[in-house]
Amino acid sequence: MRKFWTYLYSVWFWIELFGTSAILFPAALLIWIVTMPFDSRRYYLHQFSCTWSNLAFWLNPLWRLNVSGKEKIDKKGTYVIVSNHQSGADILVLFTLRLHFKWVAKRSLFFVPFLGWNMAMNRYIALRRGKKSSMHKMMERAKRDLLKGNSMMIFPEGTRSRDGNLQPFKSGAFHLALDTHIPILPIVISGTSEAIRKGGYLISKQHNLRVRILDPIPYEDYKGMEPKELAEVVHQKIEKELTVSTP
């Protein structure tokens, strides 16, 4: 009986997720067309995408999201945002923060109907994993966006964790921070690894999803570090908080 309800709930989740995406896409398209002449940062379209994420949570009766530390964010500031990556639910979770940022995401996601099309209209940055040329283009675009006042959201693990444990960090996000002198904003997500497991489609009855925003790290605190050294420093901060934040 328990497995039946798991399957039923999973079907509902995916229907409401893609259903709301399809229903809201025409509105997103209209916002994109109307604001394109004066909103090069795609601020208004991104905020609409955040609203869609909040709606997806509202229609999801079993997930409860707790966010702490939002007062640490300067909403007029620009950050290199780095977070651990436990599952596909992380994307929904981070949208609910309503921070203005550009995602760095794998290229295949941009071809997903409605969801991927919205990502492309928002001018999020596609990355082909394992291709140096794609990594170079991503870094150049990310630098330009950061210098225009767009925060950059990156999962430095590179892919989702299979067991919820923090994986080693790649150095790309920290190269960006060092090159642009922009503060780093670490974020810790917990609980999502049980909500949607990597490689699966079943949604568990995980009630408590948590987000903890850590203190921003200003450039003055890390200038002179090597990217790998900086990656390890931030990794340790997130790993420490992840231990105490796990439900």
Residue 170's identity, in one-letter code, is K
Handedness of CA 198, 201, 207, 213 (dihedral sign): positive
Q: Which domain holds residue 85?
A: 2-245
* CATH for 65: 3.40.1130
Q: Say how far apart CA 6 and CA 99 lie, in whole Å.
A: 32
What is the reported pLDDT for 130? Answer: 72
What is the reported pLDDT for 198? Answer: 57
Name the domain count of the chain: 1
What is the reported pLDDT for 129? Answer: 76
What is the reported pLDDT for 245? Answer: 57
CA 198 centroid distance within chain = 16
For residue 83, what are the β-bridge partners?
Answer: 187
> Could you tell me the mean pLDDT of each successive run of 10 residues in the chain, 247 residues long?
70 85 95 96 95 84 86 93 90 91 90 92 88 86 94 91 84 94 96 71 70 96 95 95 69
